[in-house]
Amino acid sequence: MRQRSSVTELAKSLRAELNRYSPGEKLPSSRALVEHYRVSPVTVTRALAQLAAEGLVVTRPGAGAFRAEPRTPAPAVGDTSWQEVSLSADTATEAVPRTVDASGVLVTLSAPPPGVIEFNGGYLHPSLQPAQALAAALARAGRRPGAWGRPPTDGLPELREWFAREIGGSVTAAEILVTAGGQSAITTALRALAPPGAPVLVESPTYPGMLAAARAAGLRPVPVPADAGGVRPEHLEAAFRATGARVFVCQPLFQNPTGAVLGPERRREAVRIARAAGAFVIEDDFARRLVHEDAPPLPAPLAAEDPDGVVVHVCSLTKPTSPSLRVGALAARGPVLERLRAIQVVDSFFVPRPLQEAALELVGSPAWPRHLRAVSRELRSRRDVMTGALARHLPELVLPHVPSGGHHLWLRLPDALPEASLLAAALRAGAAVAPGRPYFCAEPPAGHIRLSFAGVAGPAELVEGVDRLRAAVDELTGRPPAPGRARGSAGPAPGETA
């Protein structure tokens, strides 16, 4: 967070100084800027890149940065109002209008303003990402013969073998398609398995990115109630019977947002019920490598125990590594595999080979298991710090389930605390949280928020973020701040450890 703030501040200072230079004149060297502004070389590089992107400077390798020539006047703004009619015309003939609402996804993708604690993130903080291992893997991948050549459309054979071994059971490399991350795989699966206008059964609550992808494909998400043990089989069976759906999407392991794990009996029942309905189960196994250190042994993926091709499995390397390592996999057997393959080829041809090669180098290196152990240990520690801080300072927010994997907590708000008002008050207090509303495809039973403990710098920031959230609740309820703790304070109260 401080790095991002420093880059913004330096770019602002350099922007103000540009008028001192003539077009084409060279700016001070990077070393001079480091010494003058007392920032790191990385900050200087990123600030100059930001100005270059704005067209204010031109960087020339080996020569330095120069003030850009004046830009030509911007062309006249056209009239695009006609598009409103054109884009809405299709909805008159569609059974389910294709709406593209990315707001629930953007909450976890957009960085908050500088100084705001990021409880709404969807990825590991940079300090938890295997940056050195990724850099080394990318360097080794670049030296592989043919690294920039055209890969097989299904993915590199060695990477498909690795994914098949990770899923287990009788899954083979021939049943694997390498995808550009989990979101791409889910989108492909939804389009392959259900025609526009069809219902698709989903857990309630569930991942907003999947709901957005389903609606963009013209599908109609239908909620199926779930609890701490996952989806409830009796409701799943009733939903299949009532809707005639042919697809059920679930996250059996550390479900987003509840953190629930589908129990052994329910796992068998869910696949049996889908098979009896002639339906597919899309298994989004996004969090398997985000298991906490104290978790019991993990169940195998549903796909590993499904010889009949009921389960279409989705997994990804993105969550446990970096937002930019967008490499995942689809696993399926039977005729549906050819349909999945065709849609992926039409949409994207293939996943870039250098990225696949880098993924192979990473998962085959000794750094990979070390990284997973470190993340497992750190996620458990952060979860405990956050749950402890919430219990002490925000007992009115209900935590139905403490997860043993994943990177977030799912909290129910008291009826007297409006969700939208709390989000706004939290942001004013300096904490960004994810709203619960986008996780429901129908009316939510109550207000909720999702708090990520993986996207912050460390335990002290977790405690400070909960303190700011307490200040937001106090603002809305009119309750005075706790003794010894001012609103928006910069650290823990006396006697409290971070």
pLDDT by residue (tens digit) across 440-468? 998 888 999 999 999 999 999 999 999 99
CATH 3.90.1150.10 placement within the chain: 103-127+369-477
Q: Name the CATH superfamily, with its identifier, for domain 103-127+369-477.
A: Aspartate Aminotransferase, domain 1 (3.90.1150.10)
Stretch 176-199: mean pLDDT: 94
Q: Which of 306, 225, 299, 218 has the alpha carbon at shortest distance from 258? A: 225
Mean pLDDT check: name the lowest of 59-63, 116-120, 340-344, 410-414. 59-63
75 against 2, higher pLDDT: 75
Query: In angstroms, rounded to a whole number, what is the distance separating the alpha carbons of residues 42 and 242?
Result: 58
Stretch 19-25: mean pLDDT: 87
On the question of pLDDT at 291 being above 90, the answer is yes
| Structure-block tokens of residue 95 | 């059974």
In CATH terms, the fold of domain 132-363 is: Aspartate Aminotransferase; domain 2 (3.40.640)
Q: Which amino acid belongs to residue 288?
A: R
What is residue 489's predicted lDDT score, i.e. its pLDDT? 43
Q: How far is CA 284 from CA 69, 150, 164, 481, in A?
A: 50, 28, 15, 42
What is residue 488's predicted lDDT score, i.e. its pLDDT? 45
On the question of pLDDT at 86 being above 80, the answer is no
Residue 75 dihedral angles phi and psi, to the nearest 5°: -65, 160
The residues with which 411 forms a beta bridge, in sequence order, are: 449
Check if the beta carbon of residue 125 is closer than 8 Å to that of residue 322: no
Q: DSSP letter at 171?
A: -
267 pLDDT band (50/70/90 cuts)? very high
For residue range 386-427, list pLDDT tens digits in order: 999 999 999 999 999 999 999 999 999 999 999 999 999 999
Mean pLDDT check: name the lowest of 62-76, 153-167, 253-267, 297-311. 62-76
Strands (E), 319-364: 328-331
CATH 1.10.10.10 placement within the chain: 2-67
Q: Which of 185, 225, 223, 231 has the alpha carbon at shortest distance from 201? A: 223
101 against 382, higher pLDDT: 382
On the question of pLDDT at 205 being above 50, the answer is yes
What is residue 89's predicted lDDT score, i.e. its pLDDT? 64
SS3 at position 377:
helix
- The Cβ of residue 145 has, within 10 Å, a number of other Cβ atoms equal to 5
SS (H, E, C) 401-437: CCCCECCEEEEECCCCCCHHHHHHHHHHHCEECEECH
Residue whose token pair is 């710098």: 457
481 pLDDT band (50/70/90 cuts)? low
Q: Which amino acid belongs to residue 52?
A: A
90 pLDDT band (50/70/90 cuts)? low
Check if the beta carbon of residue 426 is closer than 8 Å to that of residue 410: no
Query: Which distant-in-sequence residues (6+ apart) come within 8 Å of 159 by Cβ?
Result: 178, 327, 356, 359, 360
| Structure-block tokens of residue 266 | 């329910």
Residue whose token pair is 């990825």: 123
Stretch 65-86: mean pLDDT: 74
On the question of pLDDT at 354 being above 90, the answer is yes
Q: What's the CA dihedral at 325, 281, 250, 274 to 10 degrees? A: -170
Query: In angstroms, rounded to a whole number, what is the distance separating the alpha carbons of residues 480 and 231?
Result: 41
274 pLDDT band (50/70/90 cuts)? very high
107 pLDDT band (50/70/90 cuts)? confident
On the question of pLDDT at 104 being above 80, the answer is no
pLDDT above 90 coverage of the chain, percent:
69
CATH 3.40.640.10 placement within the chain: 132-363
Query: In angstroms, rounded to a whole number, what is the distance separating the alpha carbons of residues 287 and 304?
Result: 16
The residues with which 247 forms a beta bridge, in sequence order, are: 280
Stretch 337-341: mean pLDDT: 94
Stretch 420-441: mean pLDDT: 94
In CATH terms, the fold of domain 2-67 is: Arc Repressor Mutant, subunit A (1.10.10)
What is residue 74's predicted lDDT score, i.e. its pLDDT? 62
Which pairing describes strands 64-67 and 57-60: parallel, antiparallel, or unpaired?
Answer: antiparallel
What is residue 5's predicted lDDT score, i.e. its pLDDT? 64
